[in-house]
Amino acid sequence: MNAINIEDVKEELKIPDQIKIFDTTLRDGEQAPGIALTVDEKIKIAQKLDELGVDTIEMGFPTVSEGERKAAKRMVELGFKSNICGLARVLKKDIDAVIDSDLSYAHLFIGTSPLHRDYKLKKSKEEILNQAIEAVEYAKDHGLTVEFSAEDATRTDIEFLKRIYGKAQECGADRVHIADTTGAITPQGIKYLVEELVKDIDIDIAVHLHNDFGLAVINSITGVLAGAKAVSTTVNGIGERAGNASLEELIMAMRILYGKDYGFKTKYIKELSDLVSRASGLPIPYNKPVVGNNVFRHESGIHVDAVIEEPLCYEPYLPELVGQKRQLVLGKHSGCRAVRAKLNECELDVSDEELIEIVRQVKKSREEGKYINDDVFKDIVRSIDENIVDF
């Protein structure tokens, strides 16, 4: 029993029955400096995202290269269940690149904050508004589903945000997107912003939160509880600078902590995470929630003893749920129970005295700097019980 039973506060928290994942691993994720995914890598990752069950895959930025357009066309041909979307500035040529890639879904964006208006775009509010209107109209006239993002929305004055989202809605945009481009908002801020916009806008709102202060996931969850219908995520949280809200952390927090199983095939999570790590060349931190190699490993005697009895003593959920495996690691903090478990795994029986000696040797070897892998363990056992020649 948890200190707070989620069932008791479900109503109050307004946990939605549905959320849509707008995954941008292949676009914002790929924008992380140094990454260039091949067409085949994009296809493989898209296949897994589709199997996992995301609503939309933002496949890239078609205007950028021939490869992007080729990847988009291949994804369309493959007929995924997930929608396939391409990014475009509010420019005719970018929208044409989306259309030329056989996509029927565009994510249009333009900067709206004073910084973007004055330094990047050097445009007035009216000019930005008109450019956004023209682009949304153009995309809608070409039959596209349109997602409209105000870039740097979280540092934009709310009146201008309401105006530009209102205009996008009037021109037929299907959803507006709050982009927290520099990870500048707090959970309290996103709650306020979403609640204010929901009052004003009739179409769905999505949130796109960056992780510069480590708040991307909690901000996304807070956005959803405040009324956002879709969340932008990336696998392993990759993306510009500190990255985006991590897909796997968001899904698992909603499922385990908020008690909402949205039907994602979470058993594919680890495979997908490894695939993205290999393709992007970005290693998964060992302690990365959900997918890190350490998150289901146990060494200390106290933890191992309890985990052997009941894994949930020291695990928030079972590793199989996300395609991970539990590992009991032998080392300096190991006790008899862990070593006995390892011996059982090797189908070996030793006396209690021998067990104590093996534990002593395991600790000593680890302190001498040896990592206790299977070979080192076997050498220790052999050195103590000469009857064990090979196993």
Contact 209, 219 (CB under 8 A): yes
Site membership for ligand KIV, residue 208 (CB under 6 A): yes
Number of shown-chain residues binding Zn ion (CB under 5 A) = 1
Choose the contact partner of 109 out of ligand KIV, Zn ion, none; CB within 5 to 8 A by kind: ligand KIV
CB of 210 to Zn ion, least distance (A): 6
Question: Which CB atom, from 28 or from 68, has the smaller least distance to Zn ion?
Answer: 28
Q: How far is CA 69 from the centre of its chain?
A: 24
Residues 375, 321: Cα–Cα separation, whole Å: 30
Cα distances from 89 to residues 99, 123, 139, 148, in angstroms, run 13, 15, 11, 10
- By beta-carbon proximity to ligand KIV, the closer residue of 21 and 304 is 21
CA distance 293 to 270: 10
Among positions 18-37, residues that touch ligand KIV (CB under 6 A) are: 28
Q: Does 147 bind ligand KIV (CB under 6 A)?
A: no
Contact criterion met (CB below 8 Å) for 65 and 83: no
Q: Which residue has the tokens 């970005």?
A: 282
- Which one of residues 151, 248, 249, 299 is an interface residue with ligand KIV (CB under 6 A)? 151
Question: CB-wise, 28 or 249, nearer to Zn ion?
Answer: 28
Q: Of 216-245, which residues contact ligand KIV (CB under 6 A)?
A: none
Site for ligand KIV in 176-195 (CB under 6 A): 179, 181
Residue 116 near ligand KIV by CB under 6 A: no
Query: Buried b vs exposed e over 12-33: b needs ≥16 C-beta within 10 Å?
Result: eeebbeebbbbbbbbbbbbbbe
Q: How far is the CB of 224 from ligand KIV (least distance, A)?
A: 18
> 95-114 mask for ligand KIV (x: CB under 6 A)?
--------------x-----
Distance CA 325, CA 46 (A): 24
> Which one of Zn ion, ligand KIV, none is in contact with 50 (Cβ closer than 5 to 8 A by kind)?
none
249 sits near ligand KIV (criterion: CB under 6 A): no
Instruction: Using the minimum distance from each CB to ligand KIV, give the nearer residue, 42 or 116.
Output: 116
28 contacts Zn ion (rule: CB under 5 A): yes
CA distance linking residue 137 with residue 168, whole number of Å: 9
How many residues touch ligand KIV (CB under 6 A)?
8
**In the numeric block, which tokens belong to residue 46?**
């898209």
d(CA 315, CA 295) in angstroms, rounded, equals 8
The residue with tokens 């990759």 is: 238
Positions touching Zn ion (CB under 5 A) are 28
Positions touching ligand KIV (CB under 6 A) are 28, 109, 149, 151, 179, 181, 208, 210
